[in-house]
């Protein structure tokens, strides 16, 4: 069983990995006031748990594992903010919007709130994510439809028969879809099958669908399939995505929208 000190230390290592993508033993020794031997044991433990991969002189974040919401939130914050602003600009007054779970979706929600306050944008927003609902609630120009069900702590999203039944009775102008991986052959994928049925249900009820994901998701194939690549109208991503990737996806009918840093 991990001691409180070790738990705090490994949490600090995970936070650094989320922010930087990699850490060195030299930096960890200075930052955490622990010996290299102790830190090597910590990194080995994180590798066994599938959260990190040891490399010469340190470790990198495990690329095939979802690091959890609280770690994802710290990753690519500038890019996600730019994506959120760009996606929110696409929304027009009077539209019905569906926001998926995820750390990029919450930036879309925040940008919608700003537009509602600064530009008098009036929209109806549905979501099964309680954290996103909390961002939107109480703003007079935003009509929030909070989809209920059993809440999963990893995503703050509802799921289950009640959730699907509510979605099945609604129609949406725009669905902003959260994904963990994007590949031309494998399509749009997620790190967990939990909530896939919700995403697929909304896909059936939305007039237009735009994925929202930073460019690090490109050429990643995650565990659970959501939908084929050409089932989505567009992808809001960041400016780091190579232009040739955008061209390849446009040939498949996916309009790639690269957000400039704000």
CATH number for the domain spanning 24: value is: 1.10.10.10
Tell me the torsion sign for CA atoms 6, 7, 10, 15. Answer: negative
| Statement to judge: residues 54 and 135 lie in one domain | no
pLDDT score at 260: 80
What tens digit of pLDDT does each residue of 132-162 get? 999 999 999 999 999 999 998 778 899 999 9
Range of the domain at 232: 72-259
pLDDT of residue 9: 83
Per residue in 200-223, pLDDT (tens digit) is: 999 999 999 999 999 999 999 988
Question: Which pLDDT score, from 0 to 100, does residue 56 have?
Answer: 84
Same domain, 127 and 234: yes
pLDDT, average across residues 42-58:
84
Same domain, 31 and 78: no
Q: Is the pLDDT of residue 20 over 90?
A: no
What does the pLDDT look like over 217-240, one tens digit per residue? Answer: 999 998 899 999 999 999 999 999
Q: Which residue among 12, 44, 64 closes a domain? A: 64
Match 């909390």 to its residue by tokens: 134
* Beta sheet of 181-183, edge-to-edge order: 181-183, 187-190, 224-227
Domain count, the chain: 2
CATH code, 193: 3.40.50.1360
* Final residue before a domain boundary, out of 21, 42, 64: 64
- Which SS3 state, helix, strand or coil, does residue 149 take? coil
pLDDT of residue 64 exceeding 60 = no
pLDDT of residue 38: 92
- Residues 6+ positions from 101 with CB-CB distance below 8 Å: 127, 128, 129, 132, 155, 156, 157, 178, 195
Residues 58 and 87 in one domain: no
Shared domain for 208 and 80, answered yes or no, is yes
Question: Where does the pLDDT of residue 2 fall: very low under 50, low under 70, confident under 90, or very high at 90 and above?
Answer: very low
Which residue has better confidence, 197 or 20?
A: 197
123 and 253 inside one domain: yes
Q: In the predicted model, is pLDDT for residue 70 greater than 60?
A: no
**Any idea how long the chain is?**
262
Same domain, 123 and 247: yes
Query: And the tokens for 123?
Result: 């929209």
**Percent share of the chain, pLDDT over 70:** 90
pTM above 0.85, yes or no: no
Residue 253 Cα distances to 184, 229, 246, angstroms = 11, 9, 11
């Amino acid at each position: 069983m991990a001691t409180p000190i070790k738990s705090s230390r490994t949490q600090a290592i995970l936070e650094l990995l989320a922010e930087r993508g990699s850490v060195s033993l030299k930096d960890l020794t200075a930052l955490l006031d622990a010996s290299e031997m102790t830190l090597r044991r910590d990194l080995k433990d994180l590798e066994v748990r599938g959260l990190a991969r040891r490399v010469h002189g340190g470790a990198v974040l495990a690329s095939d594992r979802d690091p959890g919401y609280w770690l994802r939130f710290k990753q690519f914050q500038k890019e996600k903010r730019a994506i959120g602003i760009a996606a929110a600009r696409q929304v027009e007054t009077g539209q019905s919007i569906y926001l998926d779970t995820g750390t990029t979706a919450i930036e879309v929600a925040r940008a919608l709130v700003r537009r509602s306050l600064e530009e008098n944008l009036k929209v109806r927003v549905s979501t099964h994510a309680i954290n996103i609902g909390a961002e939107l609630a109480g703003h007079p120009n935003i009509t929030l439809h909070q989809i209920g069900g059993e809440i999963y702590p990893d995503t703050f999203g509802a799921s289950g028969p009640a959730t699907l039944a509510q979605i099945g009775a609604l129609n949406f102008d725009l669905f902003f879809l959260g994904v963990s991986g994007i590949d031309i052959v494998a399509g749009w994928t997620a790190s967990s099958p939990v909530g896939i049925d919700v995403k697929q249900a909304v896909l059936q009820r939305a007039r237009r669908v735009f994925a929202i994901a930073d460019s690090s998701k490109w050429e990643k194939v995650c565990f659970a399939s959501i939908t084929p690549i050409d089932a989505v109208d567009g992808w809001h991503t960041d400016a780091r995505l190579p232009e040739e990737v955008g061209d390849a996806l446009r040939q498949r009918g996916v309009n790639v929208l690269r957000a400039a840093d704000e």
